[in-house]
């Protein structure tokens, strides 16, 4: 009941004319930018962060949430028509949806993806609404030791467990942590790693780092290695609407995808990659049309797209209740909060209820607007796909440099932008993941703060991290997620040796 | 795991760069004054840990590079076979010139030049079209962000 009241007052905030307009502008901009090939949700939110700067915190965050959701919707359109996934979570959609489009079923593929995203986004927001208060209750029991342990878990899962190589993931994490060290120490106010440069006292802005890695680095990479030939855009032939059979084959995958996506979004497991693959495998197993998989099965688009969007809502749970970002995109959203001096966490539900609940209410509204924007108007967005590559990347760089320069009107940020762009180029070239850099950058200083607070409480006794039950449990889970996959691999190898042949691992 | 005849120089260089960065972080940390305060832990501990972590990662990756190459690399030999260096240089020049020019030439002119250079870097052969689009886009973005969204961008040569 309390939650419902809070939600209702949230709607009162979100339905004011100004916030409704900001939400509308946010989802429209998010879709438009998210649809551009090569621009994933993380880059979209980083590029559009400056656009929100002049509004009050509530309005700005409502617009920002709209941008996030819009970018997710827009990204699916690109994947289906162009087969260039903007991020790893849309690989499956790109594969299966593009096959559907090749067979002349682009319309139903886009429709099942849009409606599935709407269903998953709405259910995800309902879950977020009703589970958050419980999560806040748990989070209120967290002291510095618990926060530190949870951050360690996030570091380990984002870098060492997910992705193709633990060595490269950890290297990326430590690069992010190193960048995070630059600036004034939060406890003593001492300058660290500023090399005597006054511009570095404030530390590196996450927008500069994100835009440098994603926009400048990616542009350099595409121009150097991928700028050959022309992408084939699948045409929108026939009706956008789904047939009765399409509906019948889609609704269960939507729900199952949501069931995969939301919980995976809530835990620090690197976002939507795992649930989309799980959803795809499940649908393939359960479908009566399993022979169609790989050639354009509608279930293979409906399920993973729902999983992707549900996990986006799930990601907001640890972000809002603990202040813990678990994906690159979430790290940038956290930066948007910090821009207003707000630290997401259980206390924010108490001190700024109208902001938090207004934000959650705006997500219900945003999902409806997105469905309306994406189904009938999909033809408009498709036009954006035919922008020639030179103009597209030239435009992206104008916005990238403007975002970096606009922070404090200093050429120094543009120099940093290019330097980080070069780093991003090298990382992309050698398959070093980028997300751990952003998570390390934003969580590094926070984790150090919590670590030192915890030791201040325990008067320097390190055992506080293992004697507090919640903290000890989280650290035990961290150890398990590191050890279990390694042990599993070892057992498999020993079995293979015992049988006498080597299985490719 | 496929073993390669030659060690990838790039992989080795990156590993060594990480090692060097780790060493640098540890070295610089010694210059931070140690004031413990209440927490018993001063501003040196985390930089030491992070510097050590970088060094370990660098060592790990260097070992991988020397023993058959980095593990689980995607097969992109075809993609990386013929890099377009001109494109790289043109885009870099665009970003660097933008940085140099934006202060006195202003946002619109600097962005127009950036746009044209990046488009050229991607192999555009229509400079007139690029300049026209660049000028319109830069001007539109300038007025949208300064007038409607309250960002401050330099007017430069057009300013009074």
Question: Which residues share a beta bridge with A192?
Answer: A183
* Integer Cα distance of B141 and B138 in angstroms: 5
CA of residue B18 relative to chain centroid, distance: 16
Question: Which residues share a beta bridge with A184?
Answer: A191
A248 membership: H or E segment, kind and range: helix A244-266
* Integer Cα distance of A106 and A64 in angstroms: 29
* Integer Cα distance of A431 and B72 in angstroms: 9
* Integer Cα distance of B41 and B103 in angstroms: 43
What are the chain A neighbours of B128 within 8 Å (beta carbons)? none
Identify the residue among B75, B78, B95 best suited for mutation to test binding to A, counting A beta carbons within 10 A and taking the highest. B95
Instruction: Please spell the DSSP secondary structure of A308-338, one letter per residue.
Output: HHHHHHHHHHHHHHH----SHHHHHHHHHHH
Tell me, what's the ipTM? Answer: 0.93
Contact between residue A441 and residue A206 where contact means Cβ atoms under 8 Å apart: yes
What is the CA angle A383-A385-A386, rounded to 5? 75
CA of residue A95 relative to chain centroid, distance: 20
Structure tokens at A101: 């489009």
Q: In chain B, helix, strand, coil percent, each to 5?
A: 65, 0, 35
Contact across the interface for B43 and A219, Cβ inside 8 Å: no
Structure tokens at A216: 């400048």
Contact between residue B142 and residue B107 where contact means Cβ atoms under 8 Å apart: yes
Where do we find the tokens 């924010």? Answer: A348
- Residue A184: name the closest of A420, A365, A449 by CA: A449
CA of residue B118 relative to chain centroid, distance: 16
* Integer Cα distance of A67 and A72 in angstroms: 9
- Residue A156: name the closest of A503, A505, A495, A485 by CA: A485
A191-192 vs A183-184, strand pairing mode: antiparallel
CA of residue A84 relative to chain centroid, distance: 18
* Integer Cα distance of A98 and A92 in angstroms: 10
Contact between residue A40 and residue A75 where contact means Cβ atoms under 8 Å apart: yes
Instruction: Please spell the DSSP secondary structure of A168-214, one letter per residue.
Output: HHHHHHHHHHHHHHSEE-TTT--EES-TT-GGGTT---HHHHHHIII
Find, in chain B, the residue whose alpha carbon is nearest to that of A144: B39
Domain boundaries, chain B: 9-66, 85-158
What are the chain B neighbours of A455 within 8 Å (beta carbons)? 39-41
CA–CA min distance B6, chain A (Å): 16
Find, in chain A, the residue whose alpha carbon is nearest to that of B30: A192
CA of residue A235 relative to chain centroid, distance: 29
B71: which residues sit within 8 A by CB, 6+ positions away?
A: A164, A165, A167, B1, B64
Tens-binned pLDDT, residue by residue, of chain A (505 aa): 688 888 999 999 888 999 999 999 999 999 988 888 878 888 888 888 877 877 888 998 899 889 999 998 888 888 888 877 666 777 888 888 888 888 888 888 999 999 999 999 999 999 999 999 999 998 999 999 999 999 999 899 888 877 778 899 999 999 999 999 999 988 888 889 988 888 899 889 888 999 999 899 999 999 999 887 767 777 776 677 888 889 999 999 999 999 999 998 888 776 778 888 899 999 989 888 888 888 889 999 999 999 999 999 999 999 999 998 888 888 899 988 888 889 899 999 989 998 999 999 999 999 999 998 888 888 888 888 888 889 999 999 999 999 899 888 889 999 999 999 999 999 999 999 998 999 999 999 999 999 999 988 888 888 999 998 999 999 999 998 888 877 887 888 888 777 655 444 4
* Integer Cα distance of A173 and A154 in angstroms: 11
Contact across the interface for A227 and B85, Cβ inside 8 Å: no
A277: which residues sit within 8 A by CB, 6+ positions away?
A: A92, A304
Tens-binned pLDDT, residue by residue, of chain B (160 aa): 444 557 889 999 999 999 999 999 999 998 888 776 665 678 889 999 999 999 999 999 999 999 888 888 888 777 888 889 999 999 999 999 999 999 889 999 999 999 999 999 998 899 999 999 999 999 999 998 888 877 788 887 776 4
CA–CA min distance A49, chain B (Å): 11
Contact between residue A69 and residue A30 where contact means Cβ atoms under 8 Å apart: yes
* Integer Cα distance of A334 and A343 in angstroms: 8
CA–CA min distance A448, chain B (Å): 7
CA–CA min distance A323, chain B (Å): 21
Q: How many CB pairs under 8 A join A and B?
A: 212
Task: Output phi, psi for A191, to 5 deg.
Answer: -80, 135
A143: which residues sit within 8 A by CB, 6+ positions away?
A: A454, A457, A468
Structure tokens at B19: 């090692």
What are the chain A neighbours of B91 within 8 Å (beta carbons)? 219-220, 223, 397
CA–CA min distance B85, chain A (Å): 6
Contact between residue A437 and residue A179 where contact means Cβ atoms under 8 Å apart: yes
Residue A17, number of CB atoms within 10 A of its CB: 7
CA Rg value for chain A: 22
Find, in chain A, the residue whose alpha carbon is nearest to that of B91: A220
Angle between helices A299-322 and A353-374 (to 10 degrees): 160
- Residue A418: name the closest of A265, A223, A148, A213 by CA: A213
């Amino acid at each position: 009941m309390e939650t419902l009241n809070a939600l209702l007052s949230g709607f009162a905030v979100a339905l004011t004319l100004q916030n409704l307009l900001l939400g509308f502008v946010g989802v429209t901009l998010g879709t438009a930018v998210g649809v551009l090939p090569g621009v994933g949700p993380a880059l979209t939110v980083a590029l559009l962060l400056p656009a929100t700067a002049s509004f009050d915190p509530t309005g700005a965050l409502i617009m920002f949430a709209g941008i996030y959701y819009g970018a997710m919707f827009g990204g699916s359109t690109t994947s289906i028509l162009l087969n260039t996934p903007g991020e790893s979570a849309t690989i499956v959609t790109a594969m299966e949806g593009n096959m559907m489009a090749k067979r002349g079923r682009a319309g139903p593929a886009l429709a099942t993806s849009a409606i599935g995203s709407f269903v998953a986004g709405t259910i995800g927001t309902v879950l977020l609404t009703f589970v958050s208060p419980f999560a806040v209750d748990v989070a209120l029991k967290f002291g510095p030791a618990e926060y530190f342990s949870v951050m360690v878990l996030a570091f380990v899962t984002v870098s060492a467990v997910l992705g193709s190589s633990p060595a490269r993931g950890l290297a990326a994490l430590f690069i992010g942590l190193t960048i995070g060290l630059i600036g004034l120490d939060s406890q003593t106010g001492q300058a660290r790693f500023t090399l005597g440069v006054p511009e570095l006292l404030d530390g590196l802005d996450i927008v500069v780092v994100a835009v440098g890695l994603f926009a400048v680095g990616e542009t350099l990479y595409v121009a150097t290695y991928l700028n050959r030939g022309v992408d084939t855009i699948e045409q929108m032939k026939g009706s956008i609407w789904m047939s009765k059979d399409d509906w019948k084959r889609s609704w269960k995958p939507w729900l199952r995808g949501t069931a995969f996506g939301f919980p995976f979004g809530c835990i620090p497991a690197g976002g939507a990659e795992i649930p989309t693959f799980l959803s795809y495998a499940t649908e393939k197993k359960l479908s009566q049309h399993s022979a169609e998989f790989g050639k354009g099965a509608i279930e293979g688009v409906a399920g993973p797209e729902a999983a992707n969007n549900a996990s986006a809502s799930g990601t907001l749970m640890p972000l809002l209740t603990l202040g813990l970002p678990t994906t690159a995109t979430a790290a940038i959203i956290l930066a948007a909060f910090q821009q207003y001096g707000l630290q997401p966490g259980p206390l924010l539900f108490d001190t700024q209820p109208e902001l938090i609940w207004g934000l959650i209410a705006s997500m219900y509204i945003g999902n409806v607007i997105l469905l309306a924007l994406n189904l009938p108007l999909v033809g408009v967005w498709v036009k954006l796909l035919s922008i020639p590559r030179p103009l597209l990347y030239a435009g992206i760089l104008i916005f990238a440099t403007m975002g970096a320069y606009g922070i404090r009107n200093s050429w120094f940020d543009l120099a940093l932008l290019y330097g980080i762009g070069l780093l991003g180029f090298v990382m992309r070239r050698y398959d070093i993941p980028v997300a751990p850099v952003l998570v390390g950058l934003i969580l590094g200083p926070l984790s150090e703060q919590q670590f030192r607070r915890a030791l201040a409480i325990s008067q320097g006794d390190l055992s506080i991290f293992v004697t507090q039950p919640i903290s000890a449990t989280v650290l035990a889970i961290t150890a398990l997620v590191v050890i279990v996959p390694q042990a599993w691999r070892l057992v498999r190898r020993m079995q293979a040796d015992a049988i006498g042949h080597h299985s490719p691992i | 795991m496929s073993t390669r005849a030659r060690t990838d120089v790039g992989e080795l260089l990156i590993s060594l760069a990480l090692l060097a960065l780790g060493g640098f972080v540890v070295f610089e940390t010694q210059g931070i004054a140690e004031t413990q305060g209440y927490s018993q832990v001063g501003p040196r501990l985390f930089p030491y840990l992070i510097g050590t972590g970088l060094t370990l990662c660098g060592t790990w990756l260097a070992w991988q590079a020397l023993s058959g190459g980095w593990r689980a690399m995607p097969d992109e030999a075809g993609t990386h076979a013929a890099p377009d260096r001109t494109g790289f240089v043109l885009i870099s020049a665009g970003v660097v010139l933008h940085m140099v020019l934006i202060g006195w030439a202003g946002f619109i002119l600097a962005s127009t030049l950036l746009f044209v250079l990046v488009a050229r870097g991607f192999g555009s052969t229509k400079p007139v079209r690029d300049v026209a689009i660049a000028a319109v886009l830069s001007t539109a973005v300038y007025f949208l962000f300064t007038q409607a969204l309250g960002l401050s961008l330099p007017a430069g040569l057009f300013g009074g």
